[in-house]
Amino acid sequence: MHEKADINKLLKIMSQLRDPKTGCPWDIKQDFSSIAPYTVEEAYEVQDAIKRNDVVDLKEELGDLLFQVVFHSQIAKEKNLFYFQDIVDEISNKMIRRHPHIFGDETKLTPEQIRENWQEIKAQEKAAKKKEKEKLGYKKPNKQYILDDIEIGLPALKKGQKISEAVVEYGFEWPDISAVFEKLDEEVLEVKEAIEKKDQAHIEEEIGDLLFVAINIARKCGVDAETALTKANDKFTKRFNQVEDLLNSNDTNIQQASLNEMEEAWQTIKQNEKSC
């Protein structure tokens, strides 16, 4: 039986893996940039385990994600940038700072006041971070914009929603959802016009605009666009798998099935869902 591990054991394992003389050759050659894609991948695998309600996989995937944090902290330690404990201190202090209604004296706040506090505290943190970066010698951009804080590497739908939420804070917003639907209709027409002109670059641009407006409909309805599309993907996959099963039960291979046969099976599946 393995001894029960704490975070110090994991930190020691990571240090050994990165040891220049006795460590793992693959781990030794990694840096922040090369590890970043694995960090993103592990976060998605955590999400996948949650969606499947698989607690065994969730435990494993959370461990993999934690290992990514430890990996980055070890690289930072080697470069004398910061330590794992600095990460823990940073997030601990941030959570305490952002929840004065839990950890401070402001115990009787409404949800609206909590949100206002959150935004004010974030603004203060942004100013403090700016000063810290200047002190460390980071070059200041010629211009700084509201949207500079949106993470570059986010999935496009998630990033679009964050952009929309950010500009709304400054009053750049449709008056109501009907105005967004008018814009959606406008973008559909522009996609059709681009397709008629057979201009591929223009088609891509207009489809992007169409998707961006759809994201704003989701936001106006209080829906996370990334989650909504993920669920739509899952629903389509489940239905199409059932179409394949139904065709197979009728001795029809999906590769040889006609469009009419697939559509008929699709409608059957949808009817079965409604009757359940």
Please give the model's pTM, rounded to 2 decimal places: 0.64
- What pLDDT does 140 receive? 63
Q: What is the pLDDT of residues 73-111, one digit of tens each?
A: 999 999 999 999 999 999 999 999 888 888 877 667 777
Range scoring the smallest mean pLDDT among 2-16, 52-66, 157-171, 255-269 = 2-16
* Euclidean distance between CA atoms 201 and 194, whole angstroms: 9
* Euclidean distance between CA atoms 181 and 217, whole angstroms: 8
Q: State CA 5 to chain mean position distance.
A: 30
Q: What is the pLDDT of residues 108-149, one digit of tens each?
A: 777 788 888 888 888 888 888 878 877 777 776 666 788 988
Count of alpha carbons within 13 angstroms of residue 221, beta-carbon side: 13
Q: Average pLDDT for residues 212-228, to the nearest whole number?
A: 95
Q: Which of 70, 103, 67 is nearest to 87 (CA)?
A: 70
Residue 1 has pLDDT above 50, yes or no: no
